A = this chain, B = another copy of it.
Amino acid sequence: MEKKIAVILGDGIGPEVTQQSIKVLNAIAQRFGHSFSYSFGLMGADAIDKTGNPLPDETIETCLQSDAILFGAIGHPKYDNDPTAKVRPEQGLLRLRKELQLFANIRPISTYSSLQHLSPLKSKQLKGVDFIIFRELTGGIYFGKKELSEDGSYASDLCSYSKEEIERVSHLAFQYAQKRRKKLTLVDKANVLETSRLWRKIVQEIAAQYSDVAVDYMFVDNAAMQIILNPAQFDVVLTENMFGDIVSDEASVLSGSLGLLPSASVGNKTALFEPIHGSYPQAAGKDIANPLGSILSAAMLLDHFQMNKEAAAVREAVGWTLANGFVSKDIDAINNYSTTAIGDLIMDHIERNA
């Protein structure tokens, strides 16, 4: 198959981790007989430095004309510490999400037995943990009408959802559940919130179309407990924007390192794949960053192309490096391998097993 991939290296460690993913994708292309072409676009602090704009129009154009987007990381401290800055790197990503109508953020949470010593949770808690969180990304209170009274003594934020907004991300989550263990948990606060009751009603209606998927409902405060107490109970978790922000970040600590967690953002146009970690500017250029978050994002990108065997080959190679101690500094402070070395090992493993 021929596929066009837009690559946004971004800021901080973004470029060096994304380069490893490209090596890995090329190894996959060779082994499985595909052809991947890459078009590079600018976004973030890098784009501001070079063009004055955190998201130049050419980048959007490149993304729209590609089959998927592989993105590194965004953000630079020089903008965080400058309250007078008119443009900020993060604006680039927010605008790209809007342009591409990326309404669903997808985060898989899995654990590796060789990393259990790094997890804050006991091994008992981590057994069998393998779930995926679908967070609605463009609606809810983060995008609702905001008010601040003139005298500054009263403020409000509106949380709203429409049927359509709930339906599109729910269908996606149900379709994933069908390909997995066929269980979907809606996280809401339907005992208190009208928007949650709408979510619950629509998910109940949609569930009829996916009769092979078992649906259950959990209040968000209970979900915050269950993610720690019994995370293995979850398969697909579906939730609204703010609850998704909270529970997906909470769940991200289970694996023991944020450095290896991938994500996808899917919408009406091109889908975007990126590690959940930030630009980690202190590590930039040192060849010490963990490339697995990006490489596992590339695996999600392959799944998105329906290349499931290819994605499995990437995940198998990643598992092999972890099981054999070929890990970066965030995972082992004493015996560790460089970003490049881990990328090479994964590339070689994929080629060797062809």
Contacts and interface: CB of A to CB of B under 8 A. Distances in A.
A172 to B, nearest CB: 19
Given A224-B224, A245-B221, A148 B250 contact: no
A194 interface: yes
Interface residues of A, number: 47
A82 to B, nearest CB: 16
A335 to B, nearest CB: 21
Given A159-B141, A193-B141, A194-B156, A228 B250 contact: yes
A72 to B, nearest CB: 21
Given A152-B201, A197-B155, A250 B253 contact: no
A155 B160 contact: yes
A157 interface: yes
A142 interface: yes
A249 B225 CA distance: 6
A195 interface: yes
Interface string A185-215: 0000100111101100100000000000000
B146 A194 contact: yes
A93 interface: no
A281 B341 CA distance: 58
Contact of A252 (B146, B225, B245): B225
Contacts of A224: 224, 246-247, 249-250
A159 B156 contact: yes
A163 interface: yes
Contacts of A228: 120-121, 228, 250, 253
Nearest to A163: B153
Interface in A116-155: 119-122, 125, 141-142, 144, 146-148, 152-155
A193 B140 CA distance: 11
Contact of A163 (B154, B252, B253): B154
B229 A249 contact: no
Given A122-B122, A154-B160, A156-B159, 11 more contacts: A121-B121, A121-B122, A141-B159, A148-B197, A154-B162, A156-B160, A221-B250, A222-B249, A224-B250, A225-B253, A229-B253
Q: Pick the 9 closest A-B CB pairs, nearest first.
A: A156-B160, A155-B198, A146-B194, A224-B250, A221-B249, A153-B163, A155-B194, A155-B195, A120-B125
